[in-house]
Chain A
Amino acid sequence: MVSRVRAELRKLLGLPTARVGLVLGTLTAPAIVLLNAPYTRRAIAAGTLTDTSDLGLRDLGVGLIGPMVLGVIAVSSEYTSTSQHAPGARQLTATLTAVPDRLRLLVAKTAALVLVVAAQAAVAATATLGLTQVLHGDHVPVPAPARVAGAILYWTLTALLAYAITLITRNGIVPLTLLVINSTVVSVSYLLTKITDLASYLPDIVGAQMFIRDADFPVEIAPLTAGLVMTAWVAVLLAIGAVLFQRRDA
């Protein structure tokens, strides 16, 4: 088990795209805090920003591109063609001949992803919240450990969501595009909440309620419930992905 996880960690961290995801995801949120600092200071001074308890935690959102890239690439790298000489050849062949028990393989792959993303989230959260304290400490309360843990869990579950979807699609381009657009340009799931309250239970929307309080969520959901709902989403998609992975020819 340990050797399989170690192999999956090496595989993931050895990919240039994964390293980009690692760097982007870790540095974007602290960078935004730094860039926004003058504006935030003015807003606090002018009294337009009254509830500052979400400050920092809310900035963490932009870093989610990291877990998304990592989750997608962990699977999609298995399916990309390895060379122009052999268009049908993929890394998956090497993977499955080395670890033919597919369930064990998925367990190791999932464990490796969780380790990497949880570590990344911990570093990003510490940097972002630490920086927020340094810059605006007089006005911003130190976030409760449970909220920080919620944010780390949100990152990890987001990565697993991306991973599970890619396991189903066996191609990284579609899920990565959809996930990144949804989290940056136009949040389709957020727009849906304007139409139906049910959309509040979509994984990305509900998950944020684990650690963000005052956003204009149409339905208020307790952090624990929010975590359970998002975990259920991830568990169902992972189960579908695992069954397909088990049954399909490689």
Chain B
Amino acid sequence: MITVDRVSKTRSRTRILHDVTFEARPGRVTGFLGPNGAGKTSTLRILLGLDRPESGAALICGRPYRKLDRPLTTIGALLDGSGAHRARTARAHLRWVAASNGLPDSRADEVLEIVGLTGDARKRAGRFSLGMSRRLGLATALLGDPEVLVLDEPVNGLDPVGIRWMREFLRNSAAQGRTVLLSSHLMSELAEIADDVIVIDKGRIVARGSLAEVTGDHRTLEDAFFALTATEAVRPW
């Protein structure tokens, strides 16, 4: 369960988040949708305790991230990049992360197998392709077998096989009762996978509800999105 309650944040004197409020519930995939720069990553970074909100609170299972003991057993996060130092092998990266949360070394090989990187365990992270980095990042998120997953643009850089794999993985995770929150600017992708949708634009939540509720009378989620954000689907050139 994720609760974000009236979170605001100012950066370089510009308010980038205005009273952002939403929930992500167990057993459901919640899509966090918005154009680039709308505040998705900023919100997720506050949720993960990386950045501080100016006001408001973001809670995971009722507690702020910074108060979680052995957080990886509660929540797994996938942000930009894999989080692995270039010079480290995939396995060495996973092992230190596992050790920090008191998890056994054997978990490293288990999660590598889940994400299909067993054959690359001894390869340095700096030599990974974008898609492999995402998989390694996901493997890191899965180390503690957490009940909550938070993913920032998880399909970015994945090939079609990878996208399909990620979609099924996240759907299965939700089916097993996990809370899955993922951000994306890809509306058709989100429409395929999300049960609930939160739409953010210019730092404000403009819609939230089930996929059907947010789509409303519009033909697609994309149409609903453009209506909600009042952005004309103009040609960018």
Asked whether A142 is an interface residue with its Cβ less than 8 Å from the other chain, the reply is: no
Please, which residues of chain A bring their CB within 8 A of the CB of B82?
82-83, 89, 94
Distance between Cα atoms of A121 and B130 in the complex (Å):
41
Min CB distance, A9 to chain B, in Å? 9
B97 neighbours in A (Cβ, 8 Å): 7, 94, 98
Q: Which residues of A contact B (CB under 8 A)?
A: 3-4, 6-8, 10-11, 14-17, 77, 80, 82-83, 85-86, 88-91, 93-102, 249-250
- Known contacts A4-B100, A10-B92, A100-B65; decide if A249 and B85 are in contact (CB<8 Å): no
Q: Are B52 and A83 in contact (CB under 8 A)?
A: no
Interfacial residues of chain B within 105-152, with CB under 8 A of chain A in the complex: 125-126, 128-130, 133, 140
Q: Which residues of B contact A (CB under 8 A)?
A: 45, 48-52, 65-68, 71-72, 77, 79-88, 92-93, 95-97, 99-102, 125-126, 128-130, 133, 140, 157
Query: Would A82 and B50 count as touching, CB distance under 8 A?
Result: no
CB pairs A–B below 8 angstroms (23 shown):
A3-B99, A3-B101, A3-B102, A7-B96, A10-B92, A10-B96, A80-B85, A82-B84, A83-B125, A83-B128, A83-B133, A85-B157, A86-B81, A91-B83, A93-B81, A93-B83, A97-B77, A98-B100, A100-B49, A100-B66, A100-B67, A101-B66, A250-B50
A7 close to B100 (CB less than 8 A): yes
Q: Does A89 lie within 8 Å of B66, measured CB to CB?
A: no
A interface SS class: helix
Q: Considering the complex, give the chain B residue whose CB is closest to the CB of A2.
A: B102
Is A15 a contact of B85 with CB atoms below 8 Å? yes
Q: A96-B49, A97-B48 are in contact. Are A89 and B81 (CB under 8 A)?
A: yes
When C-beta atoms are compared, the residue in chain A nearest to B101 turns out to be: A98
A80 lies within 8 A of B86 (CB): yes
Which of A7, A16, A85, A249 has its CB near the most chain B CB atoms (within 10 A)?
A85
> Contact at B85–A93, with CB atoms within 8 Å?
no
B99 in contact with A94 (CB, 8 Å): no
Which A residues are in CB contact (< 8 Å) with B79? 89, 93
Instruction: Check A91–B130 contact: CB distance below 8 A.
Output: no
